[in-house]
Amino acid sequence: MRIPRHTLIQFSDVHVVPEGTLLHGSVDTLANLAEALAEVEAADVRPTALLFTGDLADAGDGPSYRRLRDLVDKAAARIGAPVLYGMGNHDTREDFHESLLGAPRGDHERDFVHEVDGLRVIFLDTTDPGHHHGDLTDRQLRWLREKLTTRATHGTVLALHHPPIPSPLAILEMLTLRRHEELAEIVAGTDVALIVAGHAHHATCGSLGGVPVWIAPATAYSADVLAPAGLVRGTVGGGYTRIDVYDDGATATYVPVGTGAPVYELDVETLRRYLAEHTADTGADAAQG
Ligand SMILES: [Fe+2]
Ligand SMILES: [Fe+2]
């Protein structure tokens, strides 16, 4: 039985707006995140960290960052996990530093490494101020290459905002990450077990330089990947991601915000008995869903 050494919870594209307003006039984005955090808190999981992959305040404004911080700080304390905040194209560097991180206002990118109990999380800031596409500088690529010359005991999760793989939505292809070919060459053969990103508002998997890539859903709302040609459509409903890191790789699992009505509930002992009774002569397939 494979047990994960680490579990991260990834929230992306939370798009918090100032108090008393709704995103696009209809979505209470902070309430979505609050619901997701409550689900994690109630779950039988002890995350190594809560990882935020950008677009945290829809307009990059101080009041929205303070609302977000107030909610997340309290929830993270109850969950007992550190919070890792990364920037997206909707964020503004100055207010992000001051109002979310409580640091001096700064207009510099925010790349960072967080290492805990053998797991390394590297966040690479793909924002290009004033633009919605992603980009990386020579300095950032050199920095990442140098970091990845060493290996972490339990491997590395590399987090970005802009996906380094294609989106089925043409508009998002225009807003994608530049220099992804160079990133592919840098991560190939390193200890990076998984690359995670956001930005797209739809869940997608792929690979880059032989490394699995997960594009996380947004907690705020979803992009309709089957919308008619020429139409960009956001739909109600969001999700977040559970990342599990094992000795031989990592998995990313989509979690919808809001638990659906149960189809069945079975305690593990009952399921074990059922499998024991049915495996020998009928196979276990009847118990699979
Ligand atoms: Fe977004
Ligand atoms: Fe974005």
| In the chain, domain spans | 6-262
> CATH number of 6-262: 3.40.50.360, 3.90.380.10, 3.20.20.370, 3.60.21.10?
3.60.21.10
Q: At 223, is the pLDDT very low, low, confident or very high (cuts 50, 70, 90)?
A: very high
Taking residues 17-25, report their average pLDDT: 96
Using a 10 angstrom Cβ sphere, with 0-12 exposed, 13-18 middle and 19 or more buried, the burial of residue 144 is buried
Q: At 56, is the pLDDT very low, low, confident or very high (cuts 50, 70, 90)?
A: very high
What's the CA-to-centroid distance between 281 and ligand 2, angstroms? Answer: 52
Q: Tell me the ligand closest to 221's alpha carbon.
A: 1
Indicate the pTM of the whole model. Answer: 0.94
What's the CA-to-centroid distance between 287 and ligand 1, angstroms? Answer: 39
Q: Tell me the ligand closest to 201's alpha carbon.
A: 1
Q: Tell me the ligand closest to 13's alpha carbon.
A: 1
Q: Tell me the ligand closest to 87's alpha carbon.
A: 2
Express each pLDDT in 25-52 by its tens digit. 999 999 999 999 999 999 999 999 999 9
Q: Is the pLDDT of residue 111 over 70?
A: yes
Q: Is the pLDDT of residue 212 over 90?
A: yes
Using a 10 angstrom Cβ sphere, with 0-12 exposed, 13-18 middle and 19 or more buried, the burial of residue 94 is middle
Using a 10 angstrom Cβ sphere, with 0-12 exposed, 13-18 middle and 19 or more buried, the burial of residue 237 is middle
What's the CA-to-centroid distance between 29 and ligand 1, angstroms? Answer: 12
- Looking at this protein, which amino acid is placed at residue 37? L
